[in-house]
């Protein structure tokens, strides 16, 4: 395919593209050692100078390269080793090694010498005896790097030598020895020397336990737990170390993807966990800094974390047993005062808590046990037995009949709900007749949280605030609302305060559309509460009527809901006595506006509750006005909201 103009490259393009390989001598030398491993070498000699501008070299006794192989493999950017050579290492004929998996994947590591200079020499002798010398240099223009020189050489044996002068990033020989010893597992068929000193590569001494686990059909792991106090030479060996084909992936860490193990525990400080496998080569990043984010790696992390947790619990068993005994001994006197069931509950609590938190401190566990003992004392029945002894025969018969028909839990639930509603009725009775009542702060929240006052059809948790409805309300009332109308809307988005001394609430129920299967509004409940003592007249009814029509035509509502609007005040003007209810729309009717008073709400509620309030009158007389409000509302967030709108 023809083109007008080809690509151009900056002089330092390749060095910048290589990233850490071209800037970190540790990574560069690690990759060059891995390159020798892939070449089938059994020996790698690294020579590091003491000063800049002296020569650094890496020599191996691998298979070497023919001139054709060098030009094809070495000079191809991003050379795909797996595609052209497979994942198995080819050894020289004289080698006694049968099998080795290659580390290389993307053909980048061989350029590690560019970390030290922009030009380096390669001398390679193929096992066939053909020797070649090449000078590789970074370039610019149309080539990111070039082969500046090629010649034939004669040398005994086979293998490859890389040389260059260190113009930057001078390595520290001691640190390089330490790093390489931690990067490759001990293998008698692969020896590394740095400045003539042989590296003692990683050995798993101090073995505590080993386990083989199958993660998937083609992935198996060997998990090895090691006592670091007997094996670790440096702190970097603490954590979970993943070894793929005798090479470390990334750095040991107690963080495995989304799983994290507390490295501050005595277990973590004393142990190292090694995970070995030969089945995850393709899941390793090209620079071996970490694994790729793949589902199989997530599963590996999960299984390894689970096994470490098991090792951890096993190692903590003795300490946990001592902690349990110590805390129970500390509370021995209190425990002796509990019945057998209570003692069993406390013991179970201690076992469960120490299982879930095996490192919990004794003082924290003791505080928790004390709290549980106090709770068990309240459950022990002493108070209940005393109350039962004070009951009359008639009350005992009634209690027996109650327990025959109801569970205690269900009875408490029903009685609690009835009690809440009777409290609302009592509060409305008091405050709706008191001219000194702060309506916005007291009366309005009572009504707004008790939708059951307006009919049993609205007594449902399905009625909630809705994003679309809230948007429509804001658009409708934005000009009429007070400056604090939508204050704290995140907590109570259904409440708006209007400048004409009204509080307005809108909630809705929803259902799924039979045709589209989308959620739509079914019914909207609007409650407008007037304040100031003036009567509800034609203007107030017309205003509410207009609200309903405007909402229906706003374009913000999902579906075609029916709207019930109630206008609530202290009294209703005689002029609308016969028109308290106004319908919106005809054939079909789309809404209804109804005027009512606080007094009517109270009378209706009493009838709906079968006049229980009169029968239990003494129970609610004991409440003062302030405690009654607190008990009914029991929602400090709502009170704060209304306080914020008091100036409306």
The series of mean pLDDT values per 10 residues for the chain, 648 residues long, is: 75 81 90 92 95 96 94 89 87 80 82 94 95 91 87 92 96 89 77 88 65 88 78 56 88 85 70 88 88 93 90 78 89 86 87 82 88 76 63 81 82 80 80 72 76 77 67 66 43 53 78 83 86 80 88 84 90 85 90 91 81 58 58 44 34
> Which three-class secondary structure state does DSSP give residue 298?
helix
Is the separation of the CB atoms in 312 and 265 below 8 Å?
Answer: yes
Q: What is the dihedral of CA 286, 290, 292, 298, to 10 degrees?
A: 160
Between CA 599 and CA 601 the distance in angstroms is 5
Residue 315 CA from chain centroid, whole number: 29
Which pLDDT belongs to residue 634?
A: 57
pLDDT recorded at residue 301: 93
Q: Which pLDDT score, from 0 to 100, does residue 635 have? A: 44
Strands (E), 480-545: 495-498, 502-512, 519-530
Pairing of strands 255-256, 197-198: unpaired
Asked whether the beta carbons of 616 and 422 are under 8 A apart, the reply is yes
pLDDT at 169: 95
What pLDDT score was predicted for residue 38? 92
**Whole-number pLDDT of residue 463:** 65
- Residue 113 is given by DSSP the state G
* pLDDT given for residue 342 in this prediction: 82
Q: Identify the sign of the CA torsion 491, 493, 495, 497.
A: positive
Q: What is the pLDDT of residue 353?
A: 87
What domains does the chain contain, in order, with CATH numbers?
A: 13-198 (3.30.565.10), 207-296 (no CATH), 419-644 (no CATH)
Q: What is the pTM of this model?
A: 0.45
């Amino acid at each position: 395919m023809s083109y007008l103009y080809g690509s151009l490259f900056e002089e330092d393009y390749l060095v910048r593209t290589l990233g850490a390989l071209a800037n970190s001598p540790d990574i560069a030398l690690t990759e060059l050692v891995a390159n020798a491993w892939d070449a089938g070498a059994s020996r790698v000699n690294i020579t590091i100078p003491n000063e800049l501008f002296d020569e650094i070299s890496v020599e191996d006794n691998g298979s070497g390269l023919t001139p054709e192989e060098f030009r094809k493999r070495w000079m191809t950017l991003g050379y795909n080793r797996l595609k052209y050579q497979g994942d198995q290492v080819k050894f020289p004929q004289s080698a006694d090694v049968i099998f080795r998996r290659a580390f290389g994947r993307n053909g980048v590591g061989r350029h590690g010498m560019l970390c030290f200079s922009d030009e380096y020499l390669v001398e390679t002798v193929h096992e066939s005896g053909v020797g070649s010398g090449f000078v590789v240099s970074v370039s610019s223009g149309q080539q990111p790097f070039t082969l500046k020189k090629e010649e034939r050489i004669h040398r005994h044996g086979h293998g490859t030598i890389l040389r260059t002068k260190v113009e930057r990033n001078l390595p520290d020989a001691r640190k390089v020895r330490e790093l390489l010893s931690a990067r490759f597992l001990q293998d008698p068929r692969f020896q590394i020397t740095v400045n003539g000193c042989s590296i003692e590569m990683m050995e798993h001494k101090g073995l505590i336990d080993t386990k083989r686990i199958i993660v998937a059909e083609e992935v198996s792991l060997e998990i090895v737990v090691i006592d670091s106090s007997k094996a670790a030479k440096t702190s970097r060996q603490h954590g979970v170390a993943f070894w793929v084909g005798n090479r470390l992936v990334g750095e040991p860490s107690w963080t495995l993807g989304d799983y994290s193990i507390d490295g501050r525990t005595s277990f973590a400080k004393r142990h190292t966990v090694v995970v070995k496998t030969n089945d995850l080569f393709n899941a390793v990043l090209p620079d071996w800094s970490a694994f790729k984010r793949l589902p199989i790696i997530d599963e590996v992390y999960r299984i390894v974390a689970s096994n470490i947790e098991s090792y951890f619990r096993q190692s903590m068993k003795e300490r946990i047993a001592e902690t349990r005994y110590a805390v129970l001994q500390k509370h021995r006197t209190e425990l002796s005062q509990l019945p057998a069931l209570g003692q069993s509950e406390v013991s179970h609590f201690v076992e469960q808590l120490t299982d879930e938190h095996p490192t919990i401190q004794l003082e924290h566990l003791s505080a928790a046990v004390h709290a549980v003992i106090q709770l068990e004392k309240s459950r022990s029945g002493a108070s209940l037995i005393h109350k039962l002894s004070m009951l009359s025969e008639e009350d005992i018969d009634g209690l027996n009949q109650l327990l025959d028909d109801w569970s205690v839990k269900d009875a408490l639930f029903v009685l609690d709900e009835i009690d809440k509603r009777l409290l609302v009725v009592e509060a409305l009775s008091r405050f709706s007749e008191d001219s000194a009542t702060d309506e916005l702060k007291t009366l309005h929240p009572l009504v707004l949280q008790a939708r059951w006052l307006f009919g049993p059809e609205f007594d449902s948790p399905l009625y909630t605030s809705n994003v679309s409805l809230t948007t429509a309300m804001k658009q409708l009332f934005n000009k009429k609302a007070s400056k604090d109308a939508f204050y704290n809307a995140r907590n109570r988005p259904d409440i708006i305060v209007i400048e004409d001394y009204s509080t307005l609430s809108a909630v809705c129920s929803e259902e799924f559309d039979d045709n589209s299967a989308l959620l739509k509004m079914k019914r909207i409940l609007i409650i407008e509460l007037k304040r100031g003592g003036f009567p509800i007249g034609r203007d107030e009814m017309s205003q509410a009527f207009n609200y309903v029509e405007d909402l229906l035509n706003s374009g913000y509502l999902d579906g075609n809901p029916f709207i019930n609007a109630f206008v609530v005040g202290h009294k209703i003007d005689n002029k609308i006595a016969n028109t308290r209810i106004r319908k919106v729309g005809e054939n079909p009717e789309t809404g209804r506006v109804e005027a009512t008073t606080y007094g009517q709400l109270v009378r209706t509620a009493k009838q709906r509750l079968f006049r229980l309030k009169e029968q239990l009158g003494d129970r609610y007389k004991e409440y003062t006005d302030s405690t009654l409000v607190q008990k009914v509302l029991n929602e400090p967030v709502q009170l704060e909201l209304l306080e914020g709108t008091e100036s409306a």
